[in-house]
Structure 1
Amino acid sequence: MAAEPVVSLELGLEDLDITNEDLNFAELSESLSRVAGNKLVSDALRGKGQQNDNIREQAKDLEVTLRQVEVESIEGYVSESGNLQELHEQILECDGVLDSMEDLLGRFLGDLSEISSEIKHIQKESLNLNVKLKNRKELHEKLSVFADNMQIPPSLIDVVLDSEVNSAEYLTSLQLLHKKLNFLRTSKDAQSSLAFQDVAPELSKLENKAVSKVKAFLLEQFSILRKPKTNIQIQQQNRLLRLKGFVSFIKQHNQVAYSEVRTNYTETVGNVLLSHFRVYLSHVSGLEVRVAAKGDVVGAYEGGSGAGGASGNAVGALSGVSRFFSSMKRGPLGQSPRKSSRSPQDRGKCFELGDRGDVLGKLDESAVVPHVAEAQGLRMPCEQIFRSINKLLLDSSSSEYIFSTEFFRDQKVFQETMGEVVALISEHLENWVQDITDPVGLFLMIRINYAHQLVMQRRRLPCLDSYLDNVNMVLWPKLKLALDNQLQSLNNAQVSLVKQVSGKVVGGRFVVDAKLAKTVEGIAKRFADLLLALTSLNVGFNQGQLERSLERLRTTMEDLLLSLAKGVKQAASGAGVASGVSSSAAFLVRNYGRVLQTLRDGADALSPQGAPGAPAEDEGHGRQTLEHFEDVYTSNVSLYVEEELGAHCGDMIQFVKRLEDALGLGGGAEGLEADKDLAGRILAHFKGSWQDAIQELNRQVHSDFAGVSKALAKEVLKAALTQLLLYYTRFLEVLKQLSPDMLKDSVPTPSILYEMKKFR
């Protein structure tokens, strides 16, 4: 430890204080107290491994150690002094290089500043040039438009004045002339220029000349439409539509000339179509056959009319309309419609629908050509005539509406062209319908008109909306009047026929007068035909006002039958027959059976599934009507059967009903000894007479229902035999409770069934 300070003396550092300033032991003590918790510090303070515990001595030792370390550090720096000198020189050299680079970069920055100024100057000049260029372009464009429109090329003058209007370049020249005229009349700059005074009069002269030539040309083209057998639709599509540019020019430049052209067209086409439709209406009316005339009513009967006080791709598809007209033979406009007469057999079927409803599936077929139909000897009912007229009107109107709106760009042209045609057909329809009393035909016409409304909706053409609505306003009141006429005929028939109820007693049975029976059955048949026809046509159409009218008609018909049945019963009593209930019930069964049979035959037509667009779950008025007559018919058959069985097995029936009530109240067989004896007598009588009773039932049923369908007689007989067997089975059940021993003497049910099968 003593040798180290010697080295320091050799360096001459004895007076050099290279240590820190004198220690402040108070501060040191405070610092040590703050870190006293540190293990290393605490160990050092305890002087672990040292013998001397004196803190001051330790401090001196530490100072000596620090001095030694400082000396060693200085010696290290001295030994590296050469390297430090070399490093110092390198640093100075780098400073020089950096100074030169700083100077270079400074000059470069100055150059960049100059370039930036030049760029800003160039940008400013570029913006100025762009503004100038834009202004020059706008000026050039305005001057170009001005120059183009303010000068009249010789070719334009030559074409407008000398060329034919139908030449290829004429329409192009008109478009150029329109452009120049429009410029002069809309540009204030042009109107304020000196050139305007020179150019405007010349262009006006060309305009007047062009209008004059175009007007003459269009009028000439329209005159072609007046020629006989000219197909107007073909001419419109192939010739006139290409001229719509001329119409546009004359419309824009001379309203007076345009009005003249438009009026000429509407009068020409309107008169041609009006003439065609007049001829067509005259000819097609001669094809009509009246299925139901004024005197054909449901309640018709001999000795009275029964009517009472009621009073009696559109363009392509349509191009054949004019061809249709041109194919018609002309005839005198005033000739009267020829109505085809019908045989008495046909008159009896006047309310049958038959195949008349097929017209609803043929709405898209072409209209009837009268002279072709006449050559074939065809006659058709009113609904087919109506369909043909309306089909022709729809196609003609659709074609004309599409053409006029495209050619004239004015929907009012259609009204001016077709107004008289539509008015003619409306007037014809109103007058024609006044003579139609056929409710089936009228309702078919309503269905056809509704279908035509849908056609026009699909075509998106509103041109005939008011006409088709007016047709509905004409047809519905007429249909109601026709149905009221039928209803009144039933009321009149009821008043008259009730007074005529008569008959005779045959074998103890009152038989209704055959003439009266036939009359009423005819009424029932006509009623059923009318009810079936209108109800089936209304399936899927669901017109409530028709359903209400049919309900009134049905109620009136039932009142008629019930009144006559009551008259039959009274007549039977007056003839000395004990009870006329059986004859009355047979009368109702015959007539309700006839109605029901007709409805059953047309049951498929009454089903909603048979009508397009009808909801599958909707039972519909037709099905309800059928069910109503099923119920009424069944109740009257039951009444008739009860009366007939009462005549043959009345004692057994009364006994069964009385004993079922007695036994059903909880009472036993005790106290019913008298009934046992009666039951024995009834059983013995039945055992001896049941076969005769079945034969008599068969004879009586076929006698009561002679002249009607065999199916009806068999149905009533089946109901009677079934009810007889049911009563006998119930009688055996009563015997089983009353006196089981009697069952051994009863007739076996299989034997009765076997016998009944002979008559079914």
Structure 2
Amino acid sequence: MGNERSFLEKKAFVVGSGRYHLFGFSVPGDGFAANCPAGHLDSDASLDNVARPHFRAEPPAANRNPSLPRRSSSQLSRSPYNNRPGATSRTSSTSLLASPNDSTASLPGTARPANGLGIRQASGQRSRPAVVPDPLQVLNGIIRKEQQQQKDVPQLSGAWPDELVESIDFGTMSLEEFVAKPDPPPTRTSASRDANRQTVKQFEQERDKFQELHTSIAGCDDVSKSVEIYLNDFSNELGAVSAEIETLQTRSTQLNAMLENRRNVERLLGPAVEEISISPKAVRTIAEGPMDENWVRALNEIDTRTTSIEAKAASSTGFKAIEDIRPLLINVKDKAIERIRDYLVSQIRAMRSPNINAQIIQQQRLLKFKDLFSYLSKIHPKLASEISKAYVNTMRWYYTSNFTRYLQALDKIKVYPSDQNEVLGGDPRTHRTGNILPGGRAGSAAHDPFSLGRRIDMLRSGNTQALSSYLAEEDSSYHGIEVPFRNYNIALVDNVSAEYSFLTEFFSAMTFHQISRMAVEIFEPSFALGSNLTRKLIENTTDSLGVLMCVRLNQHSAFELQRRKVPVADSYVNGINMQLWPRFQVIMDLHGESLKRVASNAGRSAVSALSIAGGDDLKNSSAPHFLTQRFGQLMHGILVLSSDAGDDEPVSNSLARLSSEFDTLLAKLSRNGTDAKRRERFLFNNYTLILTIISDTQGKLALERRQHLDEMLKNCSKR
């Protein structure tokens, strides 16, 4: 047999219901250690020195040596010898050497199998049979045979290496008998030796892999240790954090309790503290801030707090905090009064500047801060009274100077000059030659004092704007007395309304009578200027229509003041009426007296009457007299201006007297005719002309005049 040796590695396999172990081998002498584990064979060792394997049957679990480790099914499944049908994995013989189950090093030196079979270790070389079959072939035969007999044995993973797969023929012997049978002398072929050498060589080649695996496992152990240390530290830190969390929870509970207590206290004390506290921002704004809306709001806040604190101080429930804050309130009030005084005085002084529009200052700088004067009048009434007097004096000067300049501009408007002969019975020749206007135009052609004409448009137009000073100075045309009267009174009414509205809003802390006295005192010089203008316009005029138009314009001013609810100009309007109405009656009386003079001259001689008639022969003509045309136009103008007149006006009586005088005149003129029918025709034509002229008039007074003329026509027909 030589020094050939068979390679056998211990593996476990299952045959039927029993388990068999292939134990290691003893090496007598050749440098192999007894019970050498698989995978640790020296590549230089001779394979011939490997001992022949011995087989033993594993005893039952109860009779096993407790010192032997129990092999699990997982270990069997990882064995490279578990070559089952259908397995595809193939391993080399090197894996047999590297298996952790390939060595008997785990068995104690004194352990022996139950059947007495074991591994004999000797210092010398034991005798071997001459012919020994290849152990791999034997195992392969056993496994194949058992696989055929036991189909229900669990299939083990793994595959046999091709060079180790050999069949073992047990014949009719059992495993114990087969093991006890003398081994035939091993026959080693060159192929087997080559396979063994290849296995050893492959193991040598893969040794670095195993070493690298060992190093990786060691590194994993180090990492596991560091992870363990980290986890221990983390656990300790978690414990510390948990303790801190518990502390924080306890602290949070305490803070919540303190917060709830504070809320309860604040709920009870908050309103009381709020009532007696003053915002530092409000105090700073009062002392240093600009005069704007924020300053007014801060002042209102201080005023509210002051009222509340003073009320609490006066009551019996006052407390010490009020006494502490009262000096501060006094200082803040004094500072507020000082700043209000300075601001109002500066604005009043600004109104005295030349060419300043006081209404801009009133609207933008005073009305926006009207609460300042209200606060001042409540805190310091004496100072408020002095400021109001300063304002009255300033505005009195302001309106007086402005209306004086405006009146000077209106004086430049050219008004038709008055003439005492511009009456119904005036001499026409004197009227034509005496009333020559500058520029060469005849007065009768430019102005007819008995005809209303387009003068009524001033009352009917919706223009409520006064003529500006510039336009009044540049106007070169002639106008009636109603033009300057209207423009001055419109400007006066507008300014009185605006000023009175400002006074009632800014000085709201004062009473109604105080504000009215202030307004009257402010406009007293302006009212005097208006009265003087009216007197100047009407004192020498005989323009009854112009005076009556001034009356209507004055009434419109009164209605506008009533609509605007401005009663302070009522005395001025009444004073103007007291100037206009008497003058109107005087002019109507002048017309009546002139008719009387004509009637007296007509009765004296027909020549005088003919001179009045302009050369008409009353004895030979029944045409209307030219005085009838005048009278009709004058009556028409008066009726148009009196369409809305009331019964209390003197127009009706004055017009009735004038009509009576005219009827007397017509009766005297009709007596100069030689024929009765011609006299009747003369009266009929004159009354018909008058009735035709006033036919488009309306109102109660016009109806009365038409009824009177109808009666006169009926009387003429009866004659």
1:533 to 637, 654, 674: 637
Cα 1:169–1:503 shift into 2, 3 Å: closer
Residues 1:476 and 2:575 are matched in the alignment: no
1:435 — aligned with what?
540
Structure 1 residue 205, shift from structure 2 partner? 2.5
Render the CA deviation track for 1:318-374: whole Å, top value 9, x for unaligned: xxxxxxxxxxxxxxxxxxxx9999724248821101111111112543112243144
1:212 to 328, 334, 338: 338
In 1, Cα distance between equivalents of 2:612 and 2:474: 48
Structure 1 residue 545, shift from structure 2 partner? 2.9
Q: Do the aligned partners of 1:400 and 1:414 also contact (CA within 8 Å) in 2?
A: yes
Structure 1 residue 405, shift from structure 2 partner? 0.7
Render the CA deviation track for 1:647-702: whole Å, top value 9, x for unaligned: xxxxxxxxxxxxxxxxxxxxxxxxxxxxxxxxxxxxxxxxxxxxxxxxxxxxxxxx
Q: Do the aligned partners of 1:363 and 1:387 also contact (CA within 8 Å) in 2?
A: no
Paired residue type of 2:582:
P
In 2, Cα distance between equivalents of 1:534 and 1:160: 65
Structure 1 residue 432, shift from structure 2 partner? 3.7
1:157 to 255, 280, 283: 283
2:595 to 473, 490, 494: 490
Cα 1:348–1:427 shift into 2, 3 Å: closer
Paired residue type of 1:621:
L
In 2, Cα distance between equivalents of 1:422 and 1:138: 68
Residues 1:177 and 2:302 are matched in the alignment: yes
Query: What is the root-mean-square deviation of aligned Cα atoms in Å?
Result: 3.7
Cα 1:207–1:387 shift into 2, 3 Å: same
Q: Do the aligned partners of 1:535 and 1:622 also contact (CA within 8 Å) in 2?
A: yes
Q: How does 1:408-447 map to 2 (within 5 A)?
A: 408-409=507-508, 410=510, 411=512, 412=515, 413-447=518-552
Residues 1:603 and 2:708 are matched in the alignment: no
In 2, Cα distance between equivalents of 1:538 and 1:435: 23
Render the CA deviation track for 1:252-302: whole Å, top value 9, x for unaligned: 111122112212222222221121111112221331423753331111136
In 1, Cα distance between equivalents of 2:643 and 2:661: 22
Structure 1 residue 557, shift from structure 2 partner? 0.9
Paired residue type of 1:176:
E
2:373 — aligned with what?
247
Residues 1:388 and 2:480 are matched in the alignment: no
1:278 — aligned with what?
404
Render the CA deviation track for 1:410-462: whole Å, top value 9, x for unaligned: 44143333333234323433454333332111211222222233323333333
Q: How does 1:190-209 map to 2 (within 5 A)?
A: 193-209=319-335
In 1, Cα distance between equivalents of 2:296 and 2:617: 81
In 2, Cα distance between equivalents of 1:635 and 1:542: 30
Task: Give the % identical residues.
Answer: 22
1:257 to 373, 377, 383: 383
Structure 1 residue 160, shift from structure 2 partner? 2.3
Paired residue type of 1:447:
R
Paired residue type of 1:537:
L
Q: How does 1:348-747 map to 2 (within 5 A)?
A: 349-409=448-508, 410=510, 411=512, 412=515, 413-502=518-607, 515=614, 517=616, 521-543=625-647, 545-566=650-671, 568=672, 579=674, 581=676, 584-585=679-680, 588-589=682-683, 593=685, 596-597=688-689, 599-604=691-696, 606-608=697-699, 620-629=700-709, 632=712, 636=716
1:298 — aligned with what?
424
Tell me the SS of whatever aligns to 2:355: coil
Q: Do the aligned partners of 2:628 and 2:689 also contact (CA within 8 Å) in 1?
A: no
Render the CA deviation track for 1:34-62: whole Å, top value 9, x for unaligned: xxxxxxxxxxxxxxxxxxxxxxxxxxxxx
Structure 1 residue 632, shift from structure 2 partner? 3.7
Paired residue type of 1:453:
A
Cα 1:339–1:179 shift into 2, 3 Å: farther
Q: Do the aligned partners of 2:352 and 2:394 also contact (CA within 8 Å) in 1?
A: yes
In 2, Cα distance between equivalents of 1:481 and 1:379: 25
Structure 1 residue 553, shift from structure 2 partner? 0.6
Q: Which protein is richer in helix relative to its size?
A: 1
In 1, Cα distance between equivalents of 2:446 and 2:656: 25
In 2, Cα distance between equivalents of 1:526 and 1:203: 81
Render the CA deviation track for 1:573-602: whole Å, top value 9, x for unaligned: xxxxxx45466556x44xx63564354144
2:35 — aligned with what?
none
Cα 1:286–1:518 shift into 2, 3 Å: farther
Q: TM-score when scaled to structure 1?
A: 0.52
Q: Do the aligned partners of 1:292 and 1:351 also contact (CA within 8 Å) in 2?
A: no
2:216 — aligned with what?
none
Cα 1:401–1:171 shift into 2, 3 Å: same
In 1, Cα distance between equivalents of 2:367 and 2:395: 15
Structure 1 residue 145, shift from structure 2 partner? 5.5
In 1, Cα distance between equivalents of 2:389 and 2:554: 31
In 2, Cα distance between equivalents of 1:438 and 1:222: 45
Structure 1 residue 229, shift from structure 2 partner? 3.4
Render the CA deviation track for 1:218-257: whole Å, top value 9, x for unaligned: 1212233333333333332233211112112211111122
Larger Rg: 2
Render the CA deviation track for 1:147-172: whole Å, top value 9, x for unaligned: 345445443433222223x2443222
Cα 1:593–1:433 shift into 2, 3 Å: same
In 2, Cα distance between equivalents of 1:392 and 1:170: 36
Q: Do the aligned partners of 2:409 and 2:473 also contact (CA within 8 Å) in 1?
A: no
What are the ranges of 5 or more consecutive residues in structure 2 without an aligned counterpart? 1-261, 432-436, 619-623
In 2, Cα distance between equivalents of 1:452 and 1:424: 16
Structure 1 residue 554, shift from structure 2 partner? 0.7
Cα 1:252–1:348 shift into 2, 3 Å: closer
Cα 1:210–1:175 shift into 2, 3 Å: same
Structure 1 residue 638, shift from structure 2 partner? 8.4
Render the CA deviation track for 1:180-216: whole Å, top value 9, x for unaligned: 3323433313895444544333322221221111111
In 2, Cα distance between equivalents of 1:248 and 1:436: 51
1:9 — aligned with what?
none
In 1, Cα distance between equivalents of 2:486 and 2:541: 15
Cα 1:156–1:537 shift into 2, 3 Å: closer
Q: Do the aligned partners of 2:601 and 2:608 also contact (CA within 8 Å) in 1?
A: no
In 2, Cα distance between equivalents of 1:139 and 1:467: 67
In 2, Cα distance between equivalents of 1:259 and 1:196: 31
2:350 — aligned with what?
224
In 2, Cα distance between equivalents of 1:254 and 1:415: 25
1:235 — aligned with what?
361
Q: Do the aligned partners of 1:289 and 1:379 also contact (CA within 8 Å) in 2?
A: yes
Q: Do the aligned partners of 1:184 and 1:190 also contact (CA within 8 Å) in 2?
A: no
In 2, Cα distance between equivalents of 1:367 and 1:149: 55
Paired residue type of 2:306:
L
What are the ranges of 5 or more consecutive residues in structure 1 without an aligned counterpart? 1-135, 306-337, 505-510, 570-578, 609-619, 640-760
Q: Do the aligned partners of 1:160 and 1:206 also contact (CA within 8 Å) in 2?
A: yes
Q: Do the aligned partners of 2:416 and 2:447 also contact (CA within 8 Å) in 1?
A: no
In 2, Cα distance between equivalents of 1:174 and 1:403: 22
Cα 1:285–1:173 shift into 2, 3 Å: same
Q: Do the aligned partners of 2:539 and 2:583 also contact (CA within 8 Å) in 1?
A: yes
Render the CA deviation track for 1:605-656: whole Å, top value 9, x for unaligned: x145xxxxxxxxxxx33244245435545765886xxxxxxxxxxxxxxxxx
Q: TM-score when scaled to structure 2?
A: 0.54
